[in-house]
């Protein structure tokens, strides 16, 4: 069966897709710490891409300007993967956290 994402996927569909993709490609499915390290690495690549694409960012000779879109997608994939490893439904986690945030008082310093 070919791996395919629904036309209008839910967040759960993305999580399911990432799980199946990782199984199909033989990627890590159990080592949470390693997965967290990979997420951190991708976050670093995203930060670098954002910096290099900003007006004040500098790019040395031989350096490549990163693709922010691709790096965001990589971060999202690892986020879905970590949620799967911990048995977390990201949509429900988001809803739960946002309910807490709605009750907070936000100040700007």
Average pLDDT over all residues of the chain: 92
* Alpha carbons 84 and 30: distance in angstroms, whole number: 10
Residue 104 φ then ψ, to 5°: -85, 155
The domain spans of the chain are 30-54+65-91
Contact 49, 67 (CB under 8 A): yes
The CATH number of the structural domain formed by 30-54+65-91 is 1.10.287.1080
pTM: 0.86
- pLDDT tens sequence across 58-95: 666 556 678 899 999 999 999 999 999 999 999 999 99
């Amino acid at each position: 069966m070919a791996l395919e994402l629904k036309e209008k996927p839910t967040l759960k569909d993305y999580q399911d897709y990432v799980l199946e993709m990782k199984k199909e490609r033989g990627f890590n499915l159990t080592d949470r710490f390693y997965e967290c390290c990979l997420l951190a690495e991708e976050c670093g690549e995203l930060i670098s891409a954002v910096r290099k694409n900003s007006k004040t960012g500098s790019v040395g000779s031989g350096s490549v300007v990163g693709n922010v879109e691709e790096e965001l997608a990589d971060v999202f994939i690892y986020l879905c993967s970590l949620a799967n490893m911990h048995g977390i439904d990201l949509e429900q986690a988001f809803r739960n956290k946002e309910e807490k945030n709605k009750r907070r008082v936000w100040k700007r310093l």
